[in-house]
Amino acid sequence: MTWNSISFRKRLLIIMTLSGLIELLLLVAAGFAYVKHSQEEEVGLKALGVASFLAQSPSVINMLQTGHATIEQQERFRDLTQLIGAAFISIGDKQGIRLVHPFDERIGEPMVGGDNYRALISGESYVSYAKGSLGKSVRGKSAIRDENDQIIGVVSVGYLIDSLQNRIEPFLIYLTGMALLVVAANVVVSSYASLRFQKAILGFEPEEIGRLYVELDVTMSTIKEGILSIDSKGYLRSINKSACEILGLDKELVLNRLLTESLPDSDLYTILETRETDKDIELYLNNQRLIANRSAIIVDGEVVGAVSSFRLRDEINDLTEQLSQTKEYAEMLRSQTHEHRNKLNTISGLVQMGELDAVQQLIGQETALYQNLIEFLRETVKDPLIAGLLLGKTERARELGFELFVEPGSKLESLPAHIKAEDIVTILGNLIDNAFEACQASIRSGTYIPPERRVIQVSISDYGHELILEVEDQGCGLPEGLSPEQLLQKGVSSKANHNRGVGLYLVKQLTVRYLGQVEMVANTPFGTRITVYLPKEQQ
């Protein structure tokens, strides 16, 4: 079994347990060494005190002056040794020859340890560590002086090191027991911590996280769409190569900084509060027109960030234009088919009745109507995409029982280079659709609408320095309780249906992009007039 084959939770448990055990062993060793040193130091000072006391005793001085110790004196020193718990009390003359010792056979022999010179030569009192005839010991030594202050001998009081270790063994056992108890507690805490930690990383192993990170990094670098994400505080946490190229950003300079510092116009942070998911919305960032999808990142019910993917709108301009033209053309054909079916049925009935003059008159009227409309739009609107829109909406209005009327004074020459025809189609299309819905809403409410109120007026003007688009209806008017500014916000609508409140928001967004203005006025007593002003010169 290899280390990598063990689960991350077990590995974390083993590492935390072993690290805790090693730390405790070091603490136990340090505690033991400290206690041992303290014991030796304390016993050394005790031995030194006894040795200094004996060195000043008149009986000891007299014994050294006579050069021998009586049996009674030997017994008295041995009793004192037991009384103070020492290993020995040894007294030697100036040459270091023992006069007093716990063992009779060693009396008269030189004192062992080689640590008497400081007392016999310098006359000091001190604590030493040396190995004598009884073993390694800590000793208190003191010089013995006569009445003339001459050094005549030395007193040595010693405690064996082994006996000191026996004293601190219970403490060592106690420390070891406490260490094992702490290790057991550490195992429980480590097990809980490892479980919580692995849950926080969604149960992945470290190797899996590393592999997923590399895969994600490679995947994001190969995606053509730009992708970026922010955390719950609005800091940019990731951005791929395509996003940097599209927005003209340097990854090293913007990463881990507030997104609004590098992209002041970005409102991605609002997703953190709303938790909404935006799909295919239009954005304008760093002078780039984008189509974006945005969503909140939610973990365990908590918003931890937001992510956005986007692409240049220019990349899909051709498809958008083709789709717009196709939709308008299909709408026009559908409306014309419906209308012409009725006309054909009428013509068929007139033919069967033999009313050929009436047939010719009807065909002439229809031909003249469409010819005049097409000629008018061809002269009025130079852009075929916008002209197609108006033609299609005219047929749609007739199908709904309304009339779309383009004011005769309307005029639209070629659009400036910076204004896209598909944006004008989006603005006009949404305004006209809103007018249709307002009129239909009045009908659905049971209100009778006379023919003169079933007219939707459209005006297009490019005189002066502005492009002016105006749509006016005689429908239900502005809803109560909602201001024009509120109706231009995303998701705000007078309809109860889901996914409403997008049309006017797109109008407002495109108008702001071109640094224009939207004016919404309630007609008196019916309907609404919406006017869009777009500067013809690029700002």
Task: Please tell me the least confidently modeled range out of 28-37, 367-376, 514-523.
Answer: 367-376
pLDDT of residue 65: 86
Burial 430-443 (b: 16+ CB within 10 A, else e): bbbebbbbbbbbbb
The identity of residue 212, as a single letter, is: L
52 vs 125: CA distance, rounded Å: 7
Task: Please tell me the least confidently modeled range out of 28-32, 91-95, 324-328.
Answer: 324-328
87 vs 102: CA distance, rounded Å: 9
Backbone angles phi, psi at 276, to 5 degrees: -80, 160
Residue 94's SS3 state is coil
The strands making up 288-299's β-sheet, listed across from edge to edge, are 236-239, 226-231, 302-312, 288-299, 278-285
70 vs 100: CA distance, rounded Å: 9
Angle 212-213-216 from CA coordinates, rounded to 5°: 80
Cβ–Cβ < 8 Å for 270, 251: no
- Which among 231, 412, 411, 381 is positioned nearest to 305, based on CA atoms? 231
pLDDT reading at 38 higher than 60 = yes
Residue 218's SS3 state is helix
- Cis bond leading into 58, ω under 30°? no
pLDDT tens digits, residue range 222-270? 888 899 999 999 999 889 888 998 888 988 888 899 998 888 888 888 8
pLDDT tens digits, residue range 275-314? 888 888 878 888 787 889 999 998 878 899 999 999 887 6
pLDDT of residue 318: 54
User: Using CA of residue 284, residue 288, residue 289, residue 295, what is the dihedral sign?
Assistant: negative
Mean pLDDT, to the nearest integer, of 361-371?
61
Burial 91-110 (b: 16+ CB within 10 A, else e): bbbbebebbbbbeeebbeee
Classify residue 479 by its DSSP letter.
P
With both helix axes pointing from N to C terminus, report the angle between 356-380 and 317-352 in degrees, rounded to the nearest 10: 160
pLDDT reading at 119 higher than 80 = yes
517 vs 406: CA distance, rounded Å: 22
458 vs 256: CA distance, rounded Å: 50
pLDDT grade for 497, boundaries at 50, 70 and 90: very low
Classify residue 3 by its DSSP letter.
G
Cβ–Cβ < 8 Å for 48, 126: yes
Task: Pull the structure tokens for residue 233.
Answer: 């505080």
Of 484 and 263, the structure prediction assigns the larger pLDDT to 263
User: Which ranges of 142-233 would DSSP assign to H, the alpha helix?
Assistant: 161-200, 206-222
Contacts of 447 (CB under 8 A, 6+ apart): none
pLDDT reading at 150 higher than 70 = yes
Place of tokens 């406490």: 178
176 vs 182: CA distance, rounded Å: 10
Cβ–Cβ < 8 Å for 332, 395: yes
Give Cα 15 distance to the centre of its chain. Answer: 27
pLDDT reading at 369 higher than 60 = no
Contacts of 465 (CB under 8 A, 6+ apart): 535, 536, 537
Give the DSSP H/E element, type plus range, for residue 125.
strand 125-132
Contacts of 280 (CB under 8 A, 6+ apart): 291, 292, 293
Backbone angles phi, psi at 492, to 5 degrees: -95, 125
313 vs 322: CA distance, rounded Å: 14
Q: What's the longest Cα–Cα distance across the chain? A: 173
Task: Pull the structure tokens for residue 528.
Answer: 């609404």
Classify residue 315 by its DSSP letter.
G
106 vs 220: CA distance, rounded Å: 90
537 vs 418: CA distance, rounded Å: 8
In the beta sheet, which residues pair with residue 291?
282, 311
pLDDT reading at 498 higher than 60 = no
Q: Quick one: CA torsion of 42, 44, 46, 49, rounded to 10 degrees?
A: -140
Mean pLDDT, to the nearest integer, of 151-158?
90
In the predicted model, what is the mean pLDDT of the chain? 80
Burial 472-500 (b: 16+ CB within 10 A, else e): bbbbbbbbeeeeeeebbeeebbbeeeeee
pLDDT of residue 341: 65
pLDDT of residue 438: 84
35 vs 26: CA distance, rounded Å: 14
pLDDT grade for 501, boundaries at 50, 70 and 90: very low
Of 4 and 413, the structure prediction assigns the larger pLDDT to 413
Cβ–Cβ < 8 Å for 472, 523: yes
pLDDT of residue 229: 92
375 vs 181: CA distance, rounded Å: 98
